[in-house]
Amino acid sequence: MTIGLFFMFCICVGLGYGVVSALLGGHGGDADVHIDADGHLDAGQISPVSGPVIAMFVTGFGAGGIVAQKGFGVAAGPAVLIALLTGLVLAALIFGFLSLVLSHTQAGTEYTAAEIVGMTAEVITTIPAGGTGEIAYVVKGQRERAAAQAREPEGVAKGSQVLIERMVGSIAHVRLPD
């Protein structure tokens, strides 16, 4: 097999992967994307060795080699170096693009329990003495709800403002402000 045929083979493999991936409805990557039990989207991160990045490297390698060899008449050795450079640049571009897209998808949707401690919340379902009600609060621009228990012996009425003291599992422990 000549180097030109190898470059063409790389283009076909890379583009073929993209077409098959698109037809199967997936992005073909190894990004960890899921929705957790609370309904929060966790878009995760894409790996530099994920399917789309590798496919773009292989496609770029083949295209760079073909252009260098057939388009500019570069010898096989330098054409391989140009192909490597082209593949690396295109893979870096697709990695950067996918990372950007996934980070924007994830932004504002995930938070930790520590981030809501100390926040003010509104009681949306009365918290009876010794029982559990529900609160609503805004975190990262998004309104969230959680089950809540209060330390007040008389409970807390719907519509009251409370402070979140701590989270134990999925239950917020709250108190009336001083």
pLDDT tens per residue, range 24-79:
765 444 444 444 444 444 445 678 888 889 999 999 999 999 999 999 999 999 99
The token pair that represents 100 in the structure block: 């950007």
Of residues 80 and 22, more confidence is placed in 80
Model confidence at 94, pLDDT cuts 50, 70, 90, reads: very high
Chain Cα centroid distance, residue 21: 19
The token pair that represents 50 in the structure block: 């994920």
Model confidence at 141, pLDDT cuts 50, 70, 90, reads: confident
The token pair that represents 162 in the structure block: 């409370």
pLDDT at 130 > cutoff 70? yes
Sorted by where each starts, the structural domains of the chain and their CATH numbers stand as 3-106 (no CATH), 113-175 (2.40.50.140)
Whether the model clears a pTM of 0.75, i.e. scores above it, the answer is: no
Residue whose C-alpha is closest to residue 107's, from 133, 134, 139: 139
Residue whose C-alpha is closest to residue 145's, from 112, 127, 170: 170
Listed in sequence order, the residues at least 6 apart from 158 whose beta carbon sits closer than 8 Å to its beta carbon are 123, 124, 125, 126, 133
CA dihedral for 51, 52, 53, 55, sign (positive or negative):
positive
Q: Which of the residue ranges 21-30, 142-151, 154-163 would you say has the lowest mean pLDDT?
A: 21-30
